[in-house]
Amino acid sequence: MKKRMGFAGVLVIIILTLSVAAWSFDPIPVSEYKKWPNNWGKWGPDDEIGTLNYNTPESLVAAARLVKKGKIIPCSWEVKPNSYPLWGARVGIERFMNISGHDAVAAEKPGLMYSDEFIKTGTHSMTHVDPLVHLWYGDKVYNGYPVKDVIFWDKGTVKANANAYLTHSAQRGVLLDVARFKGVDYLGDKYLITPKDLDDTAKKQGVEIKPGDAILIRTGFMKHWSDKIIKSGGTLRWGAMTDGEPGPGGDSIKWIQEKKIGLIGADNIAVEHIVPVEEKWNKIYKVPVIPLHVAVLQMLGVPMQELLNLDALAEDCAKDGVYEFLYVWPPLNFWNATGGLISPVAIK
């Protein structure tokens, strides 16, 4: 394989990007895509941020006013080797240090030294946000851009990439703690979250969902599976099609569109429910699996955040009864990224 790119610096991260096509590349007229609920062209022919357009300077100022006690709550999953679930053949993280403390004190002439590290990971192998062109059906990505003009070996993703989110990565956040609402620590691998579940959870929590909100759904998946993998000594591997995960299904597409959701995220691998496969929605969106990614990312332009850690946030919200907050999640400013590594925080 040819060497594609290389980077050097104080902290070097090699990013193995992955864009997943939905198994079909036959040219399809835009009119065919328009038969599905979509926001193509709604914010102009050059739009790259989708439903983040629902947010305004005024709504950001209003979100900032939600900060009452000056508490910052991390919402990213701590990354350690062989300790958490990943999709398919993706790998976690590797670290290479330039020196250790033992090396330093054993030096012939101890003096001024420094530590440095080389980190290798994937842009979808830890807490991240999906750009709107991460996954697609056919030959066009979000907003009707031809995929051949968007994604390149040498230049990466040149349109609607993770970098496009940088100046739009703060907004009102709402936690929907569906697991707590259902009275469990974990919803279960096959649980299908319905629009009623989402509405009933919001009602129970006393929180209103507004246009442009970042909706964060807690299922209990990440902790449950991380505990199992750690207990196995890192040998257990989660399987998307064998184990599955709890999440919203096809019936939530209309809910997401009508509520004008700005961003949706969850403490799982793909946000959405996976198995048993929802044949109805797979047939509609012409895919064998994860139809919400086509419906939400490609068609509606809703950013999706995955591998979140919402446990600490859930505890704090349950304690003070406040399920809204300022949510800040700037992606790593990596050139033309196909996945945005994030370390989001809720500020209350």
Dist CA 133 CA 122 (whole Å): 17
Give the residue extent of every domain in the chain. Answer: 20-86+129-347
Where does residue 132 rank: exposed (0-12), middle (13-18), buried (19+ CB within 10 A)? Answer: buried
The three-state secondary structure class of 254 is: helix
pLDDT of 322 above 60? yes
Residue 26 has pLDDT above 70, yes or no: no
Contact 293, 264 (CB under 8 A): no
With 60 as the cut, is the pLDDT of residue 11 above it? no
Q: What does the pLDDT average to over 310-317?
A: 98
Position 5 confidence tier, pLDDT thresholds 50, 70, 90: very low
Task: Judge if pTM exceeds 0.95.
Answer: no
Residue 214: its pLDDT value, please? 98
CA distance 42 to 130: 20
In this prediction, residue 24 carries a pLDDT of: 46
- The alpha helices in the chain, defined as continuous H runs, are 30-33, 57-64, 101-105, 178-181, 195-205, 221-231, 252-258, 279-284, 291-292, 311-320
Let me know: does 128 contact 20? Beta carbons within 8 Å: no
Q: pLDDT tens digits, residue range 86-131?
A: 998 888 888 999 888 888 888 888 788 889 999 999 999 999 999 9
Average pLDDT, the chain: 91
CATH, domain range 20-86+129-347:
3.50.30
- In this structure, how many other beta carbons lie within 10 angstroms of the beta carbon of residue 158? 14
Work out the pLDDT band at 254, boundaries 50, 70, 90: very high
**Distance separating alpha carbons of residues 215 and 176, to the nearest angstrom:** 7
Residue 321: band (very low, low, confident or very high) from pLDDT cuts 50, 70, 90:
very high
Q: Is 76 helix (H, G, I), strand (E, B) or coil?
A: strand
Question: How far apart are alpha carbons 322 and 39 in whole angstroms?
Answer: 32
Write down how long the chain is: 348
Give the model confidence (pLDDT) of 207-239 as tens digits.
999 999 999 999 999 999 999 999 999 999 999
How far is it, in rounded angstroms, from Cα 73 to Cα 311?
10
Q: Which residue has the higher pLDDT, 251 or 101?
A: 251
- Which region among 10-14, 44-48, 261-265, 276-280 has the lowest average model confidence (pLDDT)? 10-14
At residue 113, the pLDDT reads: 86
Task: List 214's β-bridge partners, or say none.
Answer: 173, 263
Query: For residue 60, what are its two tokens?
Result: 């950001």
Q: With pLDDT > 90 as the criterion, what percentage of the chain qualifies?
A: 81
Token pair for 257: 């569109």
Residue that is written with structure tokens 């969850």 in the block:
266
pLDDT confidence of 249, banded at 50, 70, 90?
very high
Query: Could you read off the pLDDT of 28-37 as tens digits, one per residue?
Result: 788 888 889 9
Query: To which residue do tokens 């319905």 refer?
Result: 194
CA angle 253, 190, 296 (to 5 degrees): 20
User: What distance in Å separates the CA atoms of residue 98 and residue 106, rounded to the nearest whole number?
Assistant: 15
Q: Which residues pair with 327 in a beta bridge?
A: 171, 346
Burial class (CB within 10 angstroms; exposed 0-12, middle 13-18, buried 19+) of 289: middle
Residue range 43-50: mean pLDDT, rounded: 98
Give the β-pairing of 135-136 and 20-21: parallel
Token duo for residue 322: 């406040």
Kindly list the distances between the CA atom of residue 150 and the CA atoms of 122, 146, 167, 338, in Å, as whole numbers in the listed order.
20, 7, 21, 11
Q: Please tell me the predicted confidence (pLDDT) of residue 179.
A: 98
What is the spatial distance between Cα 132 and Cα 55, in angstroms, rounded to a whole number?
17
- And the tokens for 310? 């919402």
Residue 288 clears pLDDT 60, i.e. is over it: yes
Out of 5-19, 34-48, 139-153, 184-198, least confident range:
5-19
Per the model's pLDDT, the better-predicted residue between 6 and 264 turns out to be 264
